[in-house]
Amino acid sequence: MADHSSTYEPKSATAKWWDERLPIMRLLSDQMITFPTPKNINYLWTFGGILTVFLLLQLVTGIILAMHYQPSAAEAFNSVDNIMRNVNYGWLIRNMHAVGASMFFIAVYIHIFRGLYYGSYKAPREILWILGMLIFLAMMAAGFMGYALVWGQMSFWGVTVITNLFSSLDGIIPGLGTAIVEWLWGGYSVSGTTLNRFFSLHYLVPFVIVGLVVLHIWALHMTGQNNPTGVEPKTEADTVPMHPYATSKDLFAMFAFFLMFAWFVFFLPDYLGHPDNYNPANPLVTPPHIVPEWYFLPFYAILRAIPDKLGGVIMMFGAIAVLFFIPWLDRSRIRSARYRPIYKWFFWLLVISCLALGYLGAMPAEEPYITWARIFTAYYFAHFLIVMPIVGVLEKPKPLPASISDAVEGGKSSSGASAHKKN
Amino acid sequence: MASDTKDPNRRDFLVVAGNTFAAIGAASLIWPFIAQMNPDAGALALSSIEVDLSPIKEGQAITAMWRGKPVFIRYRTAEEIEAAKKVALDDLADPIARNENLKDPASAPATDQNRTIEGHEKWLILIGICTHLGCIPEGQKISDARGDFGGYFCPCHGSHYDTAGRIRKGPAPRNLDVPVITFITDTKIKIG
């Protein structure tokens, strides 16, 4: 929390010398060891740490892959094959990177829905939420461009389809969309030139994400963490030091998550991909059924649900843009859905809609899928634009606990010592 | 997680065992990230080449490419062989043969015989990389500078090699290396 005053005491002369010049140990101690963490945060709060680790893992494996990858139309596909077959442990590192991207998105979606359920976007955490959404946006850019680098059929046609989204701007100003698309491509079609710039940007974006993550964590440490009650910690008894309490919980969850990660890396590395991407890119033949990576499917379903080119593109981008305004769309004063008897059901309806859109995005563009996609698209937007503002005003919330200690201990005790033991 | 008691207890044991296990796990995970920079299977598959010597006339030389390095192959003239044989071992800066084909390449003396393949003394086959700092010496072409001893001359820092590829003058510490060579026939060799 912002008023968490420093308790760091340099223990040696060297530590003191450093502390007067570059107080980095003080920063680490204050922000990662003694930092007060609400004592009731559950396992859904471990995904921030998991995401940080996956970001670093993607950076390390990505830098290694770039040592072996060749970003040219002629060599890209073969160099990926070379990584898989010839480079020492190349199969492991590439599987970690490809599966890691999926794990990153699984974790980020859980993280986002956690924030939605417990109202982590509400004042004073609006900036924290918006930074998170910017990270999500940057992740999507990185994921999309990374998938292109494999330069298989799905890569090539995925790039073609997604970049062509911008050609819909021709519907506003004739020629504008075409000009933008040709600018993105560096030619009159997706080519090796496009691949080269995607490689460059795919290397750049993760470092932008690192910068955004630093800001995200900074903002988090200004306001402190939200918690399942949504009630701010009031006394020291409501919190525990970050280390070893939150850190060990984070570590345990991370190991559990890594088990799933390892299962995919070693046993199902291609499960989350698409077999068509094992055919080299061919500009003359489009695969019969184009689908993006699974983490884009809900947005892809929204795109296809709209029977108008420009309209579909606007709705797809709108589906992401609307997330930025949530802190102001939600009119309820109560953070946690735990104490919001009506909104809680709408929340789960949103979860079901997103999962359904994900499923529908993978289905062919025909009936009955299109009608269902329209229904769920309608709910997706209604949730943010209608449900959030109206339910927030109409709903009568359940009584909030007086404090976190009150909530976890049923109001029996709130002394510091017993609170620590209880956790 | 230091213990309050002086005697090690079960918690101490668990902490030490857990940390050890995590350290071993982390260390073994690091290995693939280091090993990936070693030559890959594709590079290892290029580890030997065959060269046809029949078009080379006496006094001519060709350069073959092996593992990304130049290999000098020179059909020496009788005078060049004679000159190399006359050199006393005491005159050599590096008296070691550096010939991978000998039983004891690290100790055999650098006689002209030991610098070539037995029965094929007219062929001088060397890795064409100066042992100083890795430049490629001149001397393969007849028009090249061949240094004071008629063999090779490295223009980078002025190392002179004789007609058996031995360092005679200049900063290079060792004779030019002789790679592993197999004569498949009298006019065909395998390098590596």
User: d(Cα A150, Cα A78) in Å, to the nearest integer?
Assistant: 9
Burial class for A247, CB neighbours closer than 10 Å (0-12, 13-18, 19+):
middle
Taking only the tens of pLDDT, chain A with its 423 residues reads 445 788 899 999 999 999 999 999 999 999 999 999 999 999 999 999 999 999 999 999 999 999 999 999 999 999 999 999 999 999 999 999 999 999 999 999 999 999 999 999 999 999 999 999 999 999 999 999 999 999 999 999 999 999 999 999 998 999 999 999 999 999 999 999 999 999 999 999 999 999 999 999 999 999 999 999 999 999 999 999 999 999 999 999 999 999 999 999 999 999 998 999 999 999 999 998 888 999 999 999 999 999 998 999 999 999 999 999 999 999 999 999 999 999 999 999 999 999 999 999 999 888 899 999 999 999 999 999 999 999 999 999 999 999 999 998 875 544 444 444 433
Bridge partners, A152 (sequence order): A280
Instruction: Check whether residue B92 and residue B118 sit in a common domain.
Output: yes
- Please state which CATH class domain A42-230+239-290 belongs to: mainly alpha
For residue B1, list chain A residues with Cβ-Cβ distance below 8 A.
Answer: 244
Structure tokens at B113: 């015989």
Burial class for A330, CB neighbours closer than 10 Å (0-12, 13-18, 19+):
buried
Measured on CA atoms in the order A270, A275, A280, A281, is the torsion positive or negative? negative
Residue A206 Rama label (left phi>0; alpha psi -120 to 50; beta): alpha
Instruction: Check whether residue B49 and residue B131 sit in a common domain.
Output: yes
Instruction: Check whether residue B179 and residue B119 sit in a common domain.
Output: yes
User: d(Cα A189, Cα A122) in Å, to the nearest integer?
Assistant: 45
Structure tokens at A3: 């008023």
Q: Is B119 on the interface with A (CB under 8 A)?
A: no
Instruction: Check whether residue B57 and residue B118 sit in a common domain.
Output: yes
Task: Decide if A85 and B35 are in contact by the 8 Å CB cutoff.
Answer: no
Known catalytic residue at B132: no
Q: What ipTM goes with this model?
A: 0.79
Instruction: Check whether residue B72 and residue B18 sit in a common domain.
Output: no
- Residue B39 distance to chain A (closest CA, Å): 8
Question: Residue B169 belongs to what domain range?
Answer: 44-191
Domain residue spans in chain A?
A: 42-230+239-290, 293-395
For residue A67, list chain B residues with Cβ-Cβ distance below 8 A.
Answer: 36-37
Instruction: Check whether residue B34 and residue B57 sit in a common domain.
Output: no
- Residue A292 distance to chain B (closest CA, Å): 30
Total tally of structural domains belonging to chain B = 2
What does R_g of chain A's alpha carbons equal in angstroms? 24
Q: To which residue do tokens 């359904």 refer?
A: A356
Q: Sheet harboring B123-127: ordered strands across? A: B61-66, B69-75, B123-127
Instruction: Check whether residue B98 and residue B162 sit in a common domain.
Output: yes
CA dihedral A83→A89→A93→A99, nearest 10 degrees, is 90
For residue B38, list chain A residues with Cβ-Cβ distance below 8 A.
Answer: 88
Structure tokens at A166: 């911008």
pTM of the predicted model, to two decimals?
0.86
Spatial contact of A26 and A6, defined as CB atoms under 8 Å apart: yes
CATH number at A293-395: 1.10.287.980
Answer whether residue B1 is part of any domain. Answer: no
Nearest CA in chain A to B31: A89
Q: Residue B41: which of A60, A68, A85 has the nearest Cβ?
A: A85
Structure tokens at A366: 């025909």
Instruction: Check whether residue B90 and residue B143 sit in a common domain.
Output: yes
Of B120, B132, B157, B160, the active-site residue reads B157
Task: Decide if B40 and A244 are in contact by the 8 Å CB cutoff.
Answer: no
Answer whether residue B2 is part of any domain. Answer: no
Task: Decide if B36 and A67 are in contact by the 8 Å CB cutoff.
Answer: yes
Instruction: Check whether residue B48 and residue B34 sit in a common domain.
Output: no
Give the HSE-up count for residue A134: Cα atoms under 13 Å, Cβ half-sphere: 16
User: d(Cα A289, Cα A322) in Å, to the nearest integer?
Assistant: 29
Spatial contact of A372 and A263, defined as CB atoms under 8 Å apart: no
Question: A83 CB contacts (<8 Å, ≥6 apart)?
Answer: A65, A68, A69, A90, A91, A93, A94
Task: Decide if B36 and A60 are in contact by the 8 Å CB cutoff.
Answer: no
For residue A245, list chain B residues with Cβ-Cβ distance below 8 A.
Answer: none
DSSP A164: H
Structure tokens at A71: 């970003």
Q: Residue A86: which of B1, B33, B40 has the nearest Cβ?
A: B40
Bridge partners, B178 (sequence order): B99
Instruction: Check whether residue B122 and residue B143 sit in a common domain.
Output: yes
**CA-based nearest residue to B57, from B45, B43, B73, B75:** B75
Q: To which residue do tokens 């990926």 refer?
A: A80
CATH number for the domain including B171? 2.102.10.10
Instruction: Check whether residue B62 and residue B104 sit in a common domain.
Output: yes
User: d(Cα A313, Cα A303) in Å, to the nearest integer?
Assistant: 6
Answer whether residue B128 is part of any domain. Answer: yes
- 6-65 of B, contacting A, C-beta below 8 A: 32-33, 35-38, 40-42
Answer whether residue B171 is part of any domain. Answer: yes
Q: Residue A64: which of B1, B33, B42 has the nearest Cβ?
A: B33
Answer whether residue B20 is part of any domain. Answer: yes
Instruction: Check whether residue B31 and residue B91 sit in a common domain.
Output: no
User: d(Cα A337, Cα A332) in Å, to the nearest integer?
Assistant: 10
